[in-house]
């Protein structure tokens, strides 16, 4: 944002290389790369990245009428204040003041600055929630809400997910059935260490195919490698002292490699378990046999379940996001009414849809053959949809009669129709025209935030032609 401010003060020449491309790519790689980070702060950073890309396109636009020295100076001041807030982790109040001055100057000059003011306002608001300090401010802000409106309330999320529509509930049910069958099989076979079978099932069985495949293959190969290694080492020396020293080395390797190489960590753990049992007087050969059988049965059962009924997240992520948007649209419709019970029902349904979409998004991260473009688009849709529903939930704090007033209710229904259009677009209806967000009556900040979030969501789904032309 500091470089963007400098770019605003001094626009590049036509022959210069496109500025900020490398910086934006680095930020995109950090936010959308292999780091599984969730929360209000990460969503705010993603929105800040989107806003920076839009602002860069605006700065590089050839329209000299909106690049007057005064407006460029004030725009750069806002960007500098955002950069300072991000660097120090302090609230973005200085950026908000600078933005207000820019808005007043633009209004006084009678100039249409929506192309720059909207992403600027978005960046100012989200700079307040970015970083670890922003996460703490967001948590404090959540605690000021009634329990039913808190997005991170564990009991509210638990109640919303106690049904078969929940991906988390379905996986929990599958895990319970798999463990029960695992215990039944090991009892039927009479394995000496039969608990290894359900234990391995619990470790290997994950909510998505990619993680189950990865953990299953590594668990099986690691077990075989550990058994071969232990057999070789025990045959080289049969002394108790050598076994104790080897046990210490394997325990160290297991803890050292646990977070970096699961296959080698399992190999070390397998060897350590066999040696422990041998020191306790059990036959090492029998322990190896039991360990191998239990591991192969558990990994085969976990992988076989997915091979019999594979589900690829790359084909499910857009329907999951569309279902979330439809639930948000229904929630907006309920906000326009006066039925408290219906509103509570729609709030719970929207929370369930959000949990399902988030689970789908996390499974997409590790799935093979899923493109980076698909994941990036899904991450952005999810982030902007969360901004939209947070703004909508703020309206729930208003008296019902104010929300249900004819003008306010009509405005909310227009927003709901815009969100539904986004859902239809995600469902594959490419000919759907996304209606522009309705004009905000007066200076109502909550409504402005909701309309801005809807506009940003539409920009992700259906980028403006000018933005596409300016992208490099």
DSSP 88-116: HT--SHHHHHHHHHHHHHHHHHT---HHH
11 & 98 share domain: yes
359 & 386 share domain: yes
Of 259, 287, 308, the last residue of a domain is: 308
Decide: residue 242, CB within 10 A, 0-12 exposed, 13-18 middle, 19+ buried. Answer: middle
Of 255, 276, 308, the last residue of a domain is: 308
Is 156 part of any domain? no
234 & 349 share domain: no
CB atoms within 10 A of CB 306: 17
CA distances in angstroms from 287 to 186, 193, 248, 280, listed in the order given: 15, 8, 19, 11
351 & 448 share domain: yes
The residues, ordered by sequence, that sit 6+ positions from 122 with a Cβ below 8 Å of its Cβ are 47, 50, 51, 452, 456
Spatial separation of the C-alpha atoms in residues 162 and 159, rounded to whole Å: 5
The residues, ordered by sequence, that sit 6+ positions from 136 with a Cβ below 8 Å of its Cβ are none
Locate 360 and state its tokens. 């789908």
pLDDT at 65: 47
Spatial separation of the C-alpha atoms in residues 413 and 396, rounded to whole Å: 15
319 & 466 share domain: yes
Domain count, the chain: 3
Decide: residue 147, CB within 10 A, 0-12 exposed, 13-18 middle, 19+ buried. Answer: exposed
Task: Determine the distance from the C-alpha atom of residue 356 to the mean position of all C-alpha atoms in its chain, rounded to a whole number.
Answer: 11
pLDDT at 310: 59
Is 148 part of any domain? no
Residues of the chain with pLDDT under 50: 14-15, 64-65, 112, 465-472
By the 8 A CB rule, do 415 and 454 touch?
A: yes
449 & 342 share domain: yes
The residues, ordered by sequence, that sit 6+ positions from 196 with a Cβ below 8 Å of its Cβ are 186, 290, 291, 294, 295, 298
pLDDT at 266: 93
268 & 381 share domain: no
By the 8 A CB rule, do 244 and 251 touch?
A: no
Task: Determine the distance from the C-alpha atom of residue 48 to the mean position of all C-alpha atoms in its chain, rounded to a whole number.
Answer: 15
Spatial separation of the C-alpha atoms in residues 175 and 389, rounded to whole Å: 32
74 & 223 share domain: no
What is the per-residue pLDDT across 22-41, written as a single tens digit (0 to 9) for each? 777 777 777 765 555 567 77
Spatial separation of the C-alpha atoms in residues 345 and 246, rounded to whole Å: 59
pLDDT at 466: 40
193 & 304 share domain: yes
pLDDT at 438: 77
Task: Determine the distance from the C-alpha atom of residue 51 to the mean position of all C-alpha atoms in its chain, rounded to a whole number.
Answer: 18
Domain span at 266: 167-308
Residue with tokens 């929105």: 47
331 & 287 share domain: no
Is 193 part of any domain? yes
Locate 154 and state its tokens. 């564990």
181 & 282 share domain: yes
Task: Determine the distance from the C-alpha atom of residue 94 to the mean position of all C-alpha atoms in its chain, rounded to a whole number.
Answer: 29
Is 119 part of any domain? yes
Of 262, 289, 308, the last residue of a domain is: 308
284 & 175 share domain: yes
């Amino acid at each position: 944002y500091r470089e963007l401010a400098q770019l605003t003060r001094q626009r590049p020449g036509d022959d210069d290389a496109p500025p900020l491309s490398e910086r934006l790519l680095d930020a995109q790689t950090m936010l959308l790369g292999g780091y599984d980070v969730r929360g209000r702060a990460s969503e705010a950073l993603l929105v800040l990245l989107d806003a920076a890309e839009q602002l860069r396109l605006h700065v590089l636009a050839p329209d000299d009428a909106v690049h007057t020295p005064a407006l460029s100076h004030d725009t750069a001041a806002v960007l500098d204040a955002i950069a300072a807030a991000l660097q120090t982790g302090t609230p973005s109040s200085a950026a908000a003041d600078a933005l207000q001055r820019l808005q007043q100057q633009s209004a006084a000059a009678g100039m249409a600055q929506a192309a720059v003011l909207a992403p600027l306002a978005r960046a100012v608001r989200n700079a307040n929630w970015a970083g670890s300090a922003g996460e703490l401010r967001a948590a404090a802000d959540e605690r000021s809400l009634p329990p039913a409106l808190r997005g991170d309330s564990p009991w509210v999320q638990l109640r919303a997910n106690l049904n078969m529509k929940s991906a988390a509930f379905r996986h929990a049910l599958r895990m319970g059935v798999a463990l029960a069958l695992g215990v039944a099989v090991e009892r039927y076979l009479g394995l000496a260490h039969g608990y290894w079978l359900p234990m391995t099932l619990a470790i290997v069985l994950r909510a998505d195919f990619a993680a189950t495949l990865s953990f299953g293959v590594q668990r099986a190969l690691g077990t075989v490698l550990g058994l071969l290694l232990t057999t070789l080492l025990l045959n080289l020396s049969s002394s108790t002292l050598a076994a104790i020293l080897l046990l210490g080395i394997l325990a160290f390797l297991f803890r050292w490699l646990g977070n970096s190489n699961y296959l080698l960590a399992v190999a070390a753990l397998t060897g350590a378990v066999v040696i422990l049992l041998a020191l306790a007087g059990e036959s090492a050969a029998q322990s190896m046999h039991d360990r191998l059988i239990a591991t192969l049965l558990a990994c085969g059962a976990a992988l076989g379940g997915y091979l019999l009924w594979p589900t690829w997240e790359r084909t499910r992520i857009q329907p999951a996001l569309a279902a979330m948007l439809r639930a948000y649209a229904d929630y907006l419709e309920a906000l326009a009414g006066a039925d408290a019970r219906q509103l509570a029902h729609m709030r719970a349904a929207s929370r369930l849809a959000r949990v399902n979409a988030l689970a789908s998004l996390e499974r997409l991260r590790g799935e093979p053959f899923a493109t980076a473009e698909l994941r990036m688009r899904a991450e952005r849709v999810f982030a902007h949809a969360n901004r939209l529903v947070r703004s909508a939930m703020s309206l729930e704090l208003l008296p019902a009669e104010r929300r249900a007033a004819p003008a306010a209710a009509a405005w909310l229904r227009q927003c709901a129709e815009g969100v539904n259009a986004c859902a239809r677009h995600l469902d594959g209806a490419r000919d759907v025209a996304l209606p522009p967000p309705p004009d905000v009556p007066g200076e109502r900040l909550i409504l402005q935030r909701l309309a801005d979030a809807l506009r940003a969501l539409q920009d992700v789904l259906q980028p403006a032609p000018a933005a596409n032309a300016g992208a490099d």
